[in-house]
Structures are given as structure tokens and as C-alpha cells.
Structure 1
Amino acid sequence: MAGEKKGLQLLDFWVSPFGQRCRIALAEKGLPYEYLEQDLMGNKSELLLRANPVHKKIPVLLHDGRPVCESLIILHYLDEAFPDKPALLPSDPYARAQARFWADYVDKKVYDCGSRLWRLKGEPQAQARKEMLEILRTLEGELGDKKFFGGEAFGFVDVAFVPLTAWFLSYERFGEFSVEEVCPRLAAWAKRCGERESVAKSLHPPEKVYEFIGVLKKAYGIE
């Protein structure tokens, strides 16, 4: 795909928390890009299929026509490809390793468990609720009394996790719990992050996310 349009393009889907990570990172770095909304509910575009032939999913960052796939890899790439811009990862090797660990934890745990909350019923849903509460408490334990996951600076783990806060309302409704009651420090962190311009412009209201889950449930035949 080399030799195609110069600059940065983001193949994305409006409500995707994984795409929103990339939008927040690009905003934090002040990098201009072209947003290319993809139709994931119908026919996937030829551009997406060519850019990500392995997984055939968003987000994909095109840099001078060359594709970079997977949201956390895109965040790493932006740090390395634009070293003159504010870094998401800390400079200390140990701190970097810790940031990667917790971003990976978010990646593997939160969205998958949340999906089971709205897809399942009965005992499987109750198990998903139990797991979600454990996940959120674990993340709150890591956050502790810090302003952000990396300390005073908004960084890699915050960017990885904050898009999923727009899904909290849905998780609460399907799981019948309150994030603010169970994890008040995590709820306060989410509010702090939401006040950042990069986050506010990238996320959609929680009610819109809840409506989208309703669309997904109908599409999957879930009552």
C-alpha cells in the first residue's frame, strides 16, 4: 500500500473503544489525520480488507499509505514514529514495562467481560458480573491514590482504558452494580480523564453506547 496518500489516516468505527484510543493519542500528540469511518455492520471496505487482511477489523492507522494494525501497537507506533511529540509511555524502562502490562490487562479483560454481561443471562451473566467487579477492583488497586495510572501525567494506560469508561453505564445496567459505589477512586479517575479535551472529543455519551448495545443485541438475536 506504499505510495498511496501521504500523512495519517485512521480507519475506525464511531463507538469503538479501540479506535477511540487512537483518536485520543493523536489528539494528545497534536497530530492531524483523516478520519475514515468504516461500515462494520454491513460490507467492510476494500481499503480495510487490504489494510488489515489478517483480522479484517479496525482500527488501522495508515501512515503514508502503510498500515499499522491493533490499537496498542498503534499507540506504540505513534510514540516511536513521532519522537518530537509528547510521549504516552514513560522514559524509564521499568515504568514502561509496567504501563505495557496494565494496558495489556485492560485489553484482555474489560471489553470481553463487559460483552459477556450484555450477551448472557442467568448464571453465566452472574459469573461475568463477579469477574467484572474483580477486574475493576484490581485496576483501582493499581491506580491507588495517583491522579493517573502513570502518576501525575496522563499516559499510556489512561489512553488504553479511558474509552471503556463510556461503557460503564451499560455494564452497570446489565450487571446491576455501580462503579462509583464499588470503585470510587476509579470513578473519580474516569471523571478527571473525561475533562481532557482529547477524551471529551473522542468519546460518545454513555447513553449512546447503551443504545448501540441494543442494536447489537437485535443483530445477534439476543432478547
Structure 2
Amino acid sequence: MAKAELKLLGTWSSPFVLRIKWALQMKGVEYDFIEEDIQNKSPLLLKYNPVHKKVPVLVHDGKSIAESLVILEYMDETWKENPILPEDPYQRAMARFWSKFGDEKCLPSIWRVFTAQGEKIGQALVSASENLMILEGELKGKKFFNGETLGFADISLGWIVNMVILLEEILQLKMIDEQRYPSLSAWMKNFSNFPGIKDSFPPQDRMLTKYRTLREALLATRGSN
């Protein structure tokens, strides 16, 4: 497929955009990446995602697909090479379940830790730890969420690797350790070292700068209310 037929609208730091990059890399699909400024949305983004007005957006042959999990399913149905969803219907359902669990439960609870201060950090950690322990139980005895093969749920939950490292560095705390989360810790290493994943994370120093600034701005806004 010609590179110009496929475009990905996104931002360099978005974990949701990163999902699509990982899947495209795994499938060996060429594409053009168009960097967007979410604070100053381009006419192209507003044209292709008028409903949510956010990234990622995949544009294939002039047709746009929005929402990262929807995009992943579209890609798996369009490019059959290296499938990311299991063939078994139950396993496919479980992959979707854990992906939604990550977005609807894990991500908000970890974000609350990041945006908390003082005693509220500890309170937020309790909820985040409960969700991480659920993932720990699901991964027990497995290399990836579907067993030995990296797939849909791993790509969907891959943001945990980067987000936890950032959070631990900025807040100077340990959220995931090998003693309490042996399976989750092993999964993070296996995921990070998987071909096509290892070198695809945004620069750590740049991410730290961005998230430190973001946290300071959020806390300052909260303090002024």
C-alpha cells in the first residue's frame, strides 16, 4: 500500500496515538504522521473528527476513523497480517474487556494519583493499586494478556509502562514493584522489549518536562479556585 493513502493525525506524547503507531509497526503498514496541536486544532482535524475533535484519527483512502480502540479493530480487519485480536471469540471478548477496563478504571485512577497532592496522594494510590492488582491477577502465569503473543489488550494497556515511570519519577514514589506485582512487572519488561515497541516511546526527558509542567499547572489552577 502506498504511504500517501494512509494518514495518522496525532500528537507526539499521546498514549492513545502511540497505540496506533505500535499496531501499524507490528503490521508493517506505511503511513504519514501529521502532528497536531490540540490547543490550536487544525482544519484537517476538525474535518476528519468533527464529533470529538481529538486525536488519534486514522485517514484511510480519504475516510476517517476516530477513537483509538475503534481504530485498532478497523486496522485488524483491514490489514490481516500479524493479527492483534485473537481468533477465538471468547478471547476476543476478553481482549476488548481488559482494554475497556484499562481506559475506564485503571487510567482514571492512576491519573488521580498524578494530580493529587499531600495526603490525597496516598488515598488515590489505594484505588490505583486495587486496579493494578486486578491486572496482576489476570497476567499471572502469562507473558502477555493473551498468553505468549502480544496483542490487542497489550497494545491498549501499553500506556501503563510509560505513565507509571513518569509518575514514579515526578512524585518520587514506587507504584509497581516486582515483589508485589511480579506478573505485571514482567509484562512491562516483555512489552517494552518487544520488537517495534522498544524504540517507539516518546523521549523520556521531554515527557518528564511536559508532565511536570502539566501537573504544576493543574495544581495551580486547583489552588486558585
TM-score scaled by length of structure 2: 0.89
1:51 match:
48
Match for residue 66 of structure 2 among 52, 69, 72: 69
1:149 has 2:145 as partner: yes
1:167–1:131 CA distance, 2 compared to 1 (3 A): same
Structure 2: 5+ residue stretches without partners: none
Match for residue 136 of structure 1 among 114, 127, 132: 132
Q: Percent identity between the aligned chains? A: 40
Higher RCO structure (Cα 8 Å, ≥6 apart): 1
- State the 1:178 CA deviation: 3.6
1:19 match:
17
AA at the equivalent of 1:216: L
For 1:26-41, list aligned pairs within 5 A.
Answer: 26-40=24-38
1:47–1:70 CA distance, 2 compared to 1 (3 A): same
1:188–1:205 CA distance, 2 compared to 1 (3 A): farther
1:102 match:
98
**Which deviates further from its counterpart, 162-171 or 54-63?**
162-171
AA at the equivalent of 1:13: T
RMSD: 2.0
- State the 1:30 CA deviation: 0.5
In structure 1, C-alpha distance between the alignment counterparts of 2:192 and 2:183, rounded to whole Å:
14
- State the 1:199 CA deviation: 1.0
Structure 1: 5+ residue stretches without partners: none
1:191 match:
189
AA at the equivalent of 2:151: G
Contact 2:4 2:32 in 1 (8 A): no
In structure 2, C-alpha distance between the alignment counterparts of 1:200 and 1:163, rounded to whole Å:
13
- State the 1:204 CA deviation: 2.2
Contact 2:69 2:156 in 1 (8 A): yes
What is the SS of the residue equivalent to 1:36?
strand
In structure 2, C-alpha distance between the alignment counterparts of 1:38 and 1:144, rounded to whole Å:
39
What is the SS of the residue equivalent to 1:121?
coil
- State the 1:138 CA deviation: 0.7
Contact 1:166 1:209 in 2 (8 A): no
- State the 1:144 CA deviation: 0.7
Deviations 1:166-223 (A, max 9, x none): 1112333438334124312211211111112321232125444332111213444538
Contact 2:115 2:219 in 1 (8 A): no
What is the SS of the residue equivalent to 1:138?
helix
In structure 2, C-alpha distance between the alignment counterparts of 1:219 and 1:45, rounded to whole Å:
24
TM-score scaled by length of structure 1: 0.89
Contact 1:119 1:217 in 2 (8 A): yes
Contact 2:110 2:128 in 1 (8 A): yes
What is the SS of the residue equivalent to 1:167?
helix
Contact 2:143 2:186 in 1 (8 A): no
For 1:165-176, list aligned pairs within 5 A.
Answer: 165-173=161-169, 174=171, 176=173
1:217 has 2:211 as partner: no
In structure 1, C-alpha distance between the alignment counterparts of 2:175 and 2:119, rounded to whole Å:
20
Contact 1:169 1:210 in 2 (8 A): no
